[in-house]
């Protein structure tokens, strides 16, 4: 896990954000946010836990512009396994490819359950 500090300095103190890098991700290429063939726009999204028989425990992003049911689930090859969703991977191996996605997703979900 990697930590990044982003700071704004003031005369009476420093404010900042702490960002944790949990893993890498793979997605489809940017094709103008088209359904099922493009990655989604960059931004901040609310996450909710979700379960389905196909993906087991995974996450869904809410309020993605002009898209619906964008999931974070395991996959190691974006072109072969994703239709607009995001896959966490432990290691990037090529463009849109990675490995150990199930492990990365499991670690991601475990972190989200901490209070």
Q: Give the separation between CA 53 and CA 13, rounded to whole angstroms.
A: 50
Domain assignment of residue 7, yes or no: no
Residue 97 lies in a domain: yes
The residue segments making up the domain with residue 43 are 23-112
**Considering its fold, how many domains does the chain have in total?**
1
- As a whole number of angstroms, the distance between CA 1 and CA 110 comes to 13
Residue 84 lies in a domain: yes
Residue 2 lies in a domain: no
pLDDT in tens, 53-109: 999 999 999 999 999 999 999 999 999 999 999 999 999 999 999 999 999 999 999
- pTM equals 0.87
60: in domain: yes
pLDDT tens per residue across span 63-74: 999 999 999 999
Domain membership flag for residue 47: yes
């Amino acid at each position: 896990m990697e930590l990044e500090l982003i700071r704004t300095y003031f005369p009476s103190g420093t404010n900042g954000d702490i960002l944790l890098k949990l893993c890498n991700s793979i997605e489809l290429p940017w094709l103008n946010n088209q359904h099922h063939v493009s990655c989604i726009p960059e931004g901040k999204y609310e996450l909710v836990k979700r379960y389905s028989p196909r993906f087991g425990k995974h996450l869904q992003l809410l309020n993605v512009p002009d898209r619906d049911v964008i999931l974070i689930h395991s996959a190691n090859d974006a072109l072969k396994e994703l239709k607009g969703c995001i896959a966490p991977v432990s290691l990037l191996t090529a463009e849109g490819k990675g490995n150990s996605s199930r492990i990365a997703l499991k670690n991601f979900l475990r972190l989200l359950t901490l209070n």
